[in-house]
Amino acid sequence: MGAALRGTRMPRWLPRAIALALALYACFQLGSWAFHQLTGLLINVLIAFFLALAIEPAVSWMASRGVRRGVATATVFLGLVVVTAGFVTMMGSMLANQIASITEDLPEYVDSVINWINTTFGTELNRLKVQDSVVHSDWLQKYLQNSATGVLDVSAQVLGGLFELLTVLLFSFYFAADGPRLRCALCSVLPPARQAEVLRAWEIAVDKTGGYLYSRGLMALVSGIAHYVLFQVLGVPYAPALAVWVGLVSQFIPTIGTYLAGALPMLIAFTINPWYSLWVLVFVVVYQQFENYLLQPKLTARTVDIHPAVAFGSVIAGTALLGAVGALIAIPAVATLQAFLGAYVRRYDVTDDPRVQGRRRPVPAGGIARARAMFGGAARTTSEADGTPG
């Protein structure tokens, strides 16, 4: 019995293996928890990195002319802040004026709608009765209560958004101002061959990100001019501001930017004439098709060099992974990866085959006769084997 117990004694390595497994599991759980807690910070750092890549050419151009790199970065950021603040102030004042105008003219709009309904459907609606029923409705009271309780939540979200914006600007400033020092720090831990690859990838990322922003800016300019002409023809007020709004929002807010860009001019056009709002909607839809199928593929091929289908798929993938941020940085990221891998993928000359161009290869004249003779002989052989007449 004692010999049997000694034979079944626990191996010496087993306690250490169990302890190592528990330690690895604890480290995995701790790392997973830390990653989830720092996801917001990592996304902000990623945005800041791509923003620093976007302004890198301007900063390097100023630094090459004797301006200190920190001063050059601060100048570029100051220009961006001034332009953004001026645009937001202009759009805010315009929107406030239009909301006030809509509020003053709202009774006339309601009367015209009620008169149309009464004339078309033979009803006897009255604006005062409709207004009284809406004011004393349960859903309106619940909406006001929820809005009152949600003011603090909205304020907290606004403050959080401002803090995240400040974080992104701070990181992007350091990335752009200390770009050479950051590259030196990365290359110092790599062998010379790897250093060349890292520097090449960095250069490609700067070129592709700048090319992407250049193409977006050019498309925003074309879109703004086209919509400005429409607003001027229709007599919509604030035509220059609305054109800038449509151009920037439709190009730099992914996925839903087109709808957000078209909603504001439609609302303002409605205050002039309800039919003008319909014309704006039709023009926005038609121009979007022109941009998707004609303008964007040409500009993308010249600046980012990425297929439109790949660009569309990358935007969908980026949205699924990181939301709106992923959709915004997906195209320059994929273009950078494609250009970097292109140097390591060996390509061969394509054979001169019609099937490459999507055409069928012509059959030689004698080939059809030989095929008929071959299949005819096979058919006769089968008939003889079955005992049936060929």
Tell me the pLDDT tens digit for each residue of 158-214.
777 788 888 888 999 998 888 888 888 888 888 888 888 888 888 888 887 877 777
Given a cut of 60, whether residue 148 has pLDDT beyond it is: no
Give which of 250, 224, 217, 222 is closest to 239, Cα–Cα: 224
Kindly report the length of the chain.
390
- What pLDDT sits at residue 33? 92
- d(C-alpha 281, C-alpha 125), whole Å: 30
Among 29-33, 93-97, 140-144, 314-318, the range with the most confident prediction by mean pLDDT is 29-33
pTM equals 0.64
Among 152-156, 157-161, 377-381, the range with the most confident prediction by mean pLDDT is 157-161
244 contact partners, CB below 8 Å, separation of at least 6? 87, 224
Residue where the block lists tokens 């480290």: 27
- d(C-alpha 143, C-alpha 74), whole Å: 45
344 contact partners, CB below 8 Å, separation of at least 6? none
Tens digits of residue pLDDT in 88-141: 787 777 767 767 776 777 677 777 777 878 888 877 777 677 666 765 666 656
Domain ranges of the chain: 39-125+155-189, 197-342
Mean pLDDT calculated for residue range 309-316: 76
- d(C-alpha 69, C-alpha 72), whole Å: 5
Sequence-separated contacts (24+) of 365-373 with Cβ below 8 Å: none
| Average pLDDT in the chain | 78
- d(C-alpha 79, C-alpha 244), whole Å: 17
Question: Which tokens sit at 122?
Answer: 């033979």
